[in-house]
Structure 1
Amino acid sequence: MSRRWIGFGIFVVALAGVCVQLGAWQFDKLTERENRNALVTEHLAIDPVELDSVAPAGQRLDPDQEWTVATATGRYDLDRQVTVKYVSRDGRPGVDVLTPLVLDDGTALLVNRGFVETPRSATAPSDLPDPATTTVEVTGWLRPNSGATGEAIRVSDAQVRAISSDGLADHVPYDLRDGYLNLQDQSTGPGLLDPEPRPELGPGTHLAYGLQWWFFGALALTGFVWFAHAERQDRRKRISGSVRAVPDSITTPEEQHELQSSR
């Protein structure tokens, strides 16, 4: 019960508490991922719906509608096409090609036509496949705007680093629907590139990390008990050795106790 061991014990208990909280946080993230996976699975299993039924003009895309398979009809605006730089797919560097699709009501939907492998460079590629030039019906997954802000979503040299209809609002002369569409199929013409792969629906690393944090908490408490026990045994051995070292001339218990106290 020395000050050193009391302080050490408080530190270990606090450390174990932090580990428990971090483990619980990881399990909460696991629950969120499982709920998200269930929603994605449900949306991908439903037949395509019209864009106006889930992302009408002038309204924000409901987060619960992410990954909904939607269809829209319009004409691509090649003059306002941009690329998303610093993208990679299976270890290959490249860009995503983002082309506005102008709809019948005059608004437009950003369509991520897919991935094109290019050398890793800050310069915009100039030899991208053109989209269809006639009216086309597109089908794909609705996605919300990226959470990035500032320069990451502003167009510079016909490029952006993250997709956001808010960031491209000043780049086009028409209103943009909120979010964008990951193109999976279209009715006619060229322009279908390497599409976005299906989302990963596994549990991720949250379960392993949660168990790892709880193991660290248990290890801290177990280590404290082990070291405390080891020091207690060491003290007992030292006391036992002191008793055996008492001179034979001191025969009474009182004299032995007085000698040990002085030591």
Structure 2
Amino acid sequence: MRSLRFLLSRRWILFALVVVMLTYAAWWLGGWQFRRLDDRKASNEIVRTNEHRQVTPVGEVLTPDGDPTDADEWRVVSASGTYDADSTVLVRYRTRDGAQGVDVVVPLVTADGTALLVDRGWLETDPSGADADVPAPPSGEVEVTGYVRANGTGDSTRVDDLSTRAISSDAIGPAIGRPVYGGFVELRSEDPEPATSLEAVELPELNNGPHFFYGLQWWFFGLLAVFGFFYLLVDEWRNGPASERPPVRRKDKAPRPKSRARLQADAARRQIEAEKAAKKAAQGRPVDQSARSAPPSTGSMAPDTNDAAGESRKAAARPNSSGSP
């Protein structure tokens, strides 16, 4: 065994630094997944609580000059007013079950002139919303209930020609020229009902998602890096660097034994060759030496003879007493 002084070499110092960085990254990513799991659980608890709370008038939850809080998301509020169909905003590139479509947002103008943005549902159409045949909302006074949602953020909330990628009251209000409540609602019910309904909002799935297993996976990768480092350390401590070890000789492979079918085929071939050689010898023709060298077969062949021994066509001619044949 060698001393551990090889750990001070440049190669091992760099190797150790790489392992430390990989382990830290795996630890941080695993922790991030577990933090996302905690956020998911908290969000699910809010949804479960709010969607079963008593329906509340919109003015008690939303205000024109503020966004809804996280604790207010998915609360059910009610409002009455008239739909401003001319100010309908289409939310582009919304998919459901692989189908392309748009969400239809229509302002509901309340008695004091403040509009509540109502996402009335999903319509299957061209994903850009161009030339979409949007069903008309109910006319006259309408009573609606809906789930409170927070505004979207970023460049996707920009409104162009009453079309956007994400709903934000901060962007839609100036685009339609009306004061609006902060946030928006996703429609749960409206009275009276429209002649043609849109597909209702999809409630969020209240599961924990894959974050727990992703977190364990990242931590496993970190442990694997540490295990690999110490495995290679012990291997070099015991056996020295791989470049200084004698080459490992490969053992010659033993010939593969022939199968039973192959052995039977070879025996049958040798028997046929031996029978052919015997026929040639009996007829006085030259015999192939390779056939003679073939091992005898297990079968037997009787010579073709006549009744009289002297008339045998396969017996060699013997000299008579006078010395002539």
Pair in the same fold by TM > 0.5:
yes
- Partners of 1:45 and 1:186 in 2: how far apart? 18
Letter in 2 for 1:50: P
1:153 corresponds to 2:160:
no
Whole-angstrom distance in 2 between the partners of 1:128 and 1:11: 58
- Give the counterpart letter for 2:211 in structure 1: H
**Which residues in structure 2 correspond to 1:38-49 (within 5 Å)?**
38-49=45-56
The 5 A counterparts of 1:191-230 are 192-230=197-235
* Structure 2 counterpart of 1:22, one-letter code: L
* Residue matched to 1:260: none
1:1-263 equivalences in 2 (<5 Å): 1=7, 2-120=9-127, 122-149=128-155, 152-190=156-194, 192-235=197-240
Contact 2:121 / 2:186 at 8 angstroms: preserved in 1?
A: yes
Aligned-partner Cα distance in 2 for 1:147–1:158 = 17
Counterpart secondary structure, 2:232: helix
Contact 2:89 2:164 in 1 (8 A): yes
Q: Distance in 2 between matches of 1:221 and 1:165?
A: 51
Listed as ranges, the gaps of 5+ residues in structure 1 are 242-263
More strand by share: 1
Q: Measured at CA, do residues 133 and 8 of structure 1 come closer, stay the same or move farther in structure 2, by a change above 3 Å?
A: same
Shift of residue 236 of structure 1? 9.2
Letter in 1 for 2:19: V
* Number of the residue aligned with 1:256: none
Cα deviation, residue 237, structure 1: 10
**How far off is 1:6 after superposition?**
2.5
- Asked whether the equivalents of residues 162 and 175 of structure 2 are also in contact (C-alpha less than 8 Å), the reply is no
Counterpart amino acid of residue 90 in structure 2: T
> SS at 1:177's partner residue?
coil
* Corresponding residue number in structure 2 for 1:247: none
Instruction: Decide whether aligned partners of structure 1 residues 239 and 75 sit closer, same or farther in structure 2, where only a CA change above 3 A counts.
Output: closer
Displacement after TM superposition at 1:230 (Å): 2.0
Which amino acid is 1:128 matched to? V
Alpha-carbon distance change, 123 to 117 in structure 1, aligned in 2, over 3 angstroms = closer
Confirm or deny: 8 A CA contact 1:108 1:175 kept in the other structure: yes
TM-score (normalised: structure 2): 0.69
Secondary structure of the residue aligned to 1:166 is: helix
Q: Distance in 2 between matches of 1:161 and 1:85?
A: 5
Aligned positions, number: 238
The DSSP-based 3-state class of the residue aligned with 1:167 is helix
Q: Structure 2: which 5+ runs fail to align?
A: 1-6, 247-325
Letter in 1 for 2:70: P
CA distance in 2, matches of 1:105, 1:99: 17
Q: Flag the structure with more relative contact order, 1 or 2, with Cα contacts below 8 A and sequence separation at least 6.
A: 1
Q: Report the equivalent of 1:253.
A: none
TM-score w.r.t. length of structure 1: 0.85
Residue 104 of structure 2: SS of its match in structure 1?
strand
Distance 1:94 1:198, change over 3 A: same
- Cα 1:124–1:3 change in 2 (3 A) is same
- State the AA in 2 paired with 1:136: V
Corresponding letter in the other structure for 1:58: D
Report runs of 4+ in structure 1 exceeding 6 Å deviation.
Answer: 236-241
CA RMSD in angstroms comes to 2.0
* Pairwise CA distance, 1:128: 1.0
Answer yes or no: is the 8 Å Cα contact 1:186–1:192 preserved in 2: no
